[in-house]
Each structure stands twice: as structure tokens, then as C-alpha cells.
């Protein structure tokens, strides 16, 4: 897949430096030529022998290699197609943002004019430090691709954002940068995300636990693959390079979907849409009066079913099915009832996938009831596999 591509991998003194070993393995497995440059502190976490054994190239540490009579940082920039720094520490982020070139890695960055991808790793408080935030903004403005860390348990024992992003995500970003895949070019794809909220009164609502991560991952990947994306979401998202329409209720989502679906190639309903809304919601906060409160609920429109009814021959409609039991059987019944083209089914009873998790395991069922499985993986990877399945690219 990456045959003939020259990848320069930078590793800094971050606790997740050992994960770079798996990244080298993935690059080599896909036939890339890999050279590694490290900061001196990186060798506190990974060894020279291991890095050279996996990359099958000498490790680059010193600023100048006198025996070869050439500035090493210039030599590395000439040979490489891409510079990937994973993990990159807060210290190195700040240095490269300011143009400081006090070691081989930072000097190489300063001289590098081809694509650069960085994957930060640090404590949550460091990630949220105003100086780091500003330095990342500087790098982003200079077209440095930043793969943000994920949330989880950190080496310091706390929980928060700062853990190095999944290695498979980093690999996919590098692969897509080196070999852009644009099989969705000229396709308009409408995607819904998040859980709708149905007001009870001025402060309360009926909702669900959907985080919107799966829908947003689908939108991100569809955009990277060249699609004209419209994300209709209950989750506020900033900085996206595609159109985002924010909604709250099922009715609002229905109106937005109908408007955008008219000239769309496909609709992916990843949102968790409330089945019911309160018939007589109160515009004021309902006060407690010592007696029971009875809410009368009425059905919301079935957006997936309605869109499947009006879709044109070449339009594709994809639904999601979140179940706590009898996953496959319920998914089969849903695709028959809704008349959509595909159903993506996931088990919400599991704690390691589904709602709020960064990971998912899914079954994709088509209208002929053929079943394919996406094993547990990061939602960004799962999103890519779903899009490939829908458009017959796998």
C-alpha cells in the first residue's frame, strides 16, 4: 500500500513513546521505508536497538553526522515524503511553533517543506494550558495536521484528554495524506449525529445517552474522502471544514434532513432520534406541588422510514440500530420495516463500545439481509469501513 513511500518518524520524550514501535510496524507491514529521528529524551522510553531493528535503518539522534559530511537534518528532509511526529510532547510543540532548533528533530522540522503530521501526548492540564493551546493554533495555521489526543486514563493516574490517539488512526491519517483516496468526490452525503432532546418545560427535556461520536466520525471521514458533507447534529461542533446544521428536537432534525436530502446521494442516520415528544410542553418551569406529574407523549416522525419512502433510485439511505438484546434479529426487522438500504447495528449493553465510547463494534446488514461485521475498533476507523461498505470499496 505504501510501497515507494519514505516516512520520517519523529519520537519525543513522552510516556507513550513505546507506542511508536507499533506505528513503525504498521508502516513496514505496508512496505514503506521508515527512518526514525528522536530527541535525546525519547531514549529514556525506547531503545536505539529496538528502533533500528524495527525500522531496519540507522537511528538519527545527533545534529550532525561528521562521517557522512552532510548536515543530517537537511539530508532527512530531502529523502522523506512526510514527517510524522508521534508522540510529540508539550515541550517539542512549543519549540517547533517558535522555530527553536536545538536538536536534530526540531532542526529537521524547521527545514521540512512537505506534509507534517503531529500526534500530541501529555497530561490533561498541560493539554489545556493556554500556551500549548496557542502554540497548536500557530501550527494549525501553518497547515500542520494535528491528530488530537483521546480521553482516557493517563500515566499520571488521572483521567482526561491527553492520551496518544489510537495508532490505527495515526496510520490512516498518514496513509490518506500520502495516497489521497477520493472515492466520494462529487457525492453529497447528509449525516445525522447526537441524541435529540424533547422539551418537557423551560429547563427539562427527554433525551438519551448518544454522544454523537459515531456520526461526527462518519462526517469527518466522508469529508476526507472528497464528499460534500452536511452534518445535522445535536452536538455543537466547531472548526469543521464541512457544513454543520445544529438542531435539538426530532422535528427540527426532520425538517433539516428533508431540506438537504433532496439533492443528496446518500443519507446516514447515525443520530439517536427520540421516538416520542411531550404533547403539551410547558413554556415555564413546572414547579413541584407534592403530587405526581403525568406527561402525555405523542410519537415523533420516523425520519429514517420517511426518507426511505421518498428516496430516488440512486439515493442510498442508511440507518443505525442500537439494541440491548437480540441485536441481529432486531436489526433485520428494522431494515425490513424501514425499507432502507443498510442498517448498522451495535450493542449498547456493552460498556466498552457504543454510547460515549470512542470505540464501536458493528454489524452492517443490507436489504438482502447479508451481514458483515466490523470488529471492535476506534469509531474513526469504523466510520471509514462503513463508508467503504456502503460504496462497495472493501
Selection from 336, 314, 337, 335 nearest residue 391 by Cα: 314
Q: What is the 3-state secondary structure (H, E, C) of 294-311?
A: CCCEEECCCHHHHHHHHC
- Count Cα atoms within 13 angstroms, Cβ side, for 393: 12
101's torsion region: left (phi>0), alpha (psi -120 to 50) or beta?
beta
Catalytic amino acids? 156
How far apart are the two ends of the chain, measured CA to CA in Å?
14
What is the DSSP code string of 86-121?
A: EEE-HHHHHHHHHT---SHHHHHHHH--S-EEEEE-
Q: What is the 3-state secondary structure (H, E, C) of 326-342?
A: CHHHHHHHHHHHHCCCE
What is the DSSP code string of 244-270?
A: EEE--SHHHHHHHHHHHHTT-SEEEE-
Selection from 42, 2, 43, 41 nearest residue 25 by Cα: 2
DSSP helix/strand/coil, 374:
strand
Instruction: Give the torsion through C-alpha atoms of 262, 267, 272, 277, to 10 deg.
Output: 20
CA angle 166, 170, 171 (to 5 degrees): 115
Amino acid at each position: 500500500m505504501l510501497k515507494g513511500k519514505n516516512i520520517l518518524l519523529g519520537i519525543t520524550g513522552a510516556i507513550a513513546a513505546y507506542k511508536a514501535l507499533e506505528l513503525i510496524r504498521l508502516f513496514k507491514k505496508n512496505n514503506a521505508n521508515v527512518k526514525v529521528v528522536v530527541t535525546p529524551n525519547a531514549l529514556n522510553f525506547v531503545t536505539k536497538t529496538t528502533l533500528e531493528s524495527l525500522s531496519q535503518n540507522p537511528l538519527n539522534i545527533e545534529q550532525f553526522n561528521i562521517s557522512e559530511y552532510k548536515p543530517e537534518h537537511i539530508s532527512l528532509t530531502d529523502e522523506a515524503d512526510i514527517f510524522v511526529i508521534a508522540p510529540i510532547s508539550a515541550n517539542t510543540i512549543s519549540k517547533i511553533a517558535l522555530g527553536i532548533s536545538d536538536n536534530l528533530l526540531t532542526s529537521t522540522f524547521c527545514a521540512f517543506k512537505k506534509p507534517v503530521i503531529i500526534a500530541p501526548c501529555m497530561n490533561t492540564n498541560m493539554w489545556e494550558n493556554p500556551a500549548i493551546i496557542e502554540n497548536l493554533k500557530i501550527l494549525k495555521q501553518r497547515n500542520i495536521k494535528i491528530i488530537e489526543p483521546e480521553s482516557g486514563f493517563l500515566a499520571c493516574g488521572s483521567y482526561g484528554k491527553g492520551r496518544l490517539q489510537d495508532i490505527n488512526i495515526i496510520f490512516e491519517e498518514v496513509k490518506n495524506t500520502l495516497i489521497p483516496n477520493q472515492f466520494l468526490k462529487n457525492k453529497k452525503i447528509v449525516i445525522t449525529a447526537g441524541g435529540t432532546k424533547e422539551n418537557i418545560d423551560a429547563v427539562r427535556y427527554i433525551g438519551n445517552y448518544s454522544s454523537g461520536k459515531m456520526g461526527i466520525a462518519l462526517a469527518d471521514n466522508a469529508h476526507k474522502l472528497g464528499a460534500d458533507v452536511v452534518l445535522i447534529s445535536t452536538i455543537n461542533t466547531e472548526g469543521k471544514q464541512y457544513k454543520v446544521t445544529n438542531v435539538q428536537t426530532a422535528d427540527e432534525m426532520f425538517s433539516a434532513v428533508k431540506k438537504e436530502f433532496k439533492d443528496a446521494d446518500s443519507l446516514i442516520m447515525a443520530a439517536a432520534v427520540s421516538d416520542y415528544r411531550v404533547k403539551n410542553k410547558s413554556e415555564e418551569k413546572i414547579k413541584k406541588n407534592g403530587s405526581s406529574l403525568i406527561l402525555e407523549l405523542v410519537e415523533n416522525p420516523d425520519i429514517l422510514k420517511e426518507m426511505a419512502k421518498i428516496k430516488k433510485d440512486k439515493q442510498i439511505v442508511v440507518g443505525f440500530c442500537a439494541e440491548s438484546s437480540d441485536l441481529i434479529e432486531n436489526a433485520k426487522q428494522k431494515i425490513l420495516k424501514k425499507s432502507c438500504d443498510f442498517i448498522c447495528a451495535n450493542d449498547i449493553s456493552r460498556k466498552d463500545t457504543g454510547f460515549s465510547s470512542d470505540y464501536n463494534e458493528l454489524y452492517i446488514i443490507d436489504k438482502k439481509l447479508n451481514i458483515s461485521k466490523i470488529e471492535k475498533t476506534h469509531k474513526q476507523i469504523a466510520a471509514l469501513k462503513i463508508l467503504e461498505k456502503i460504496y462497495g470499496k472493501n
